Amino acid sequence: MKIKIVMQIEKIEYENWKNHYIKYLIFNKNKIKEKNLKKLWEWLNNSHHPQKGIFALVKKDIVGHAHFRGEPNPVRGKEIGFLDDVYIKPEYRKMGIANKLIEKLVIEGKKNKWELIRWNCGFNNVGAIKFYKKFAKGLKWHTFEIKL
């Protein structure tokens, strides 16, 4: 099976991306409105928008993705990378796809002159935490949010 890693979202049909992304949302027990899906799709198709995506394809089917962006870091006085989400369809896990997505993310980070890339992970996502510890160090931070 040949896995292709792409960043050109325009080569992917909306319905293909949407069906894949909904599986990610269900996995994380999130809900999203159709208008918000369309907004994210619009961002991913706008080369000037900070939200970017890396996609793993088997033929034309999306089997994994990583959504990321640059964000200002006041301590460093420059942008760092932030990985919003990474997801591999369950039937494609343990095939090296997540590694390929992270490798491509690191290349993008170096192109953007980021010193580091950060992300959040749920405490209960044991599989993801085990994977991340292979190449990244966990920080002692908690994530908080205020609903507005």
Residue ranges of domains in the chain? 3-132
Residue 31 pLDDT: 83
pLDDT-based confidence at residue 30 (cuts at 50, 70, 90)? confident
At residue 17, φ and ψ (nearest 5 deg) are -65, -45
Arithmetic mean of pLDDT, 17-23: 92
119 closest CA partner among 107, 136, 134: 136
Residue 122 pLDDT: 80
Residue 136's identity, in one-letter code, is A
pLDDT at position 10 over 70: no
Query: Spelled out in words, what is the top-level CATH class assigned to the domain 3-132?
Result: alpha beta
Q: What gap in Å lies between CA 67 and CA 54, rounded to an integer?
A: 6
Threshold 0.85, pTM exceeds: yes
Q: Which residue has the higher pLDDT, 69 or 148?
A: 69
